[in-house]
Structure 1
Amino acid sequence: MVEKIYTIIDDTGIHARPSTALVNAASPFKSEVTIEYNGRQVNLKSIMGVMSLGIPKGANVKVVAIGDDELEVISRIDDVMVNEGLAS
């Protein structure tokens, strides 16, 4: 299991476009990947799940990956968080 905590810096939080980028990044991997915010945890491979969290600017979110390629998926999520301007 690999966990990473991010602080969201985008003014609009994690809205539709970055949610899609995160889901697209996580989906090809075999590992189970979840994102947690405000006590709720959803599958990071589900666009509706991610959007349902309503993650605003300044939020701390935790991404957890469990599986054979957990290190690779966390690395890919890191890339998306930085490239989309979600976290530094």
Structure 2
Amino acid sequence: MIDRVWVSDFTELPCRNGKAYAVAIMDLCSRRILGITVSHNMQTRTLIHTLNQACHVRRSRPTEPIVFHSINHLTPVQFEEELISQQRDQPTCL
């Protein structure tokens, strides 16, 4: 079912001055990228920014709640708190 399960991942991008990081959130069924952020550091706010992009896309077509899965170490406490906040503020988002 489209728009029921989201997955996230990140990758390191080599740059002249070090590394950059790309974080993406994708709908698992449609394979549609709902949000992507590139940053020179891997901080929780990078993932939160990407989550907000994905939620903005989803608000235009609210459906049932989704499952969010991250297969990496991008789920610190601050991010989990943001997920709970998004659920409270926009129940159709997460």
- TM-score, structure 2 as length reference: 0.34
Return the structure number with greater strand share: 2
Structure with bigger gyration radius: 2
Bigger relative CO (Cα 8 Å, ≥ 6 apart): 1
Q: Which has the higher helix share?
A: 1
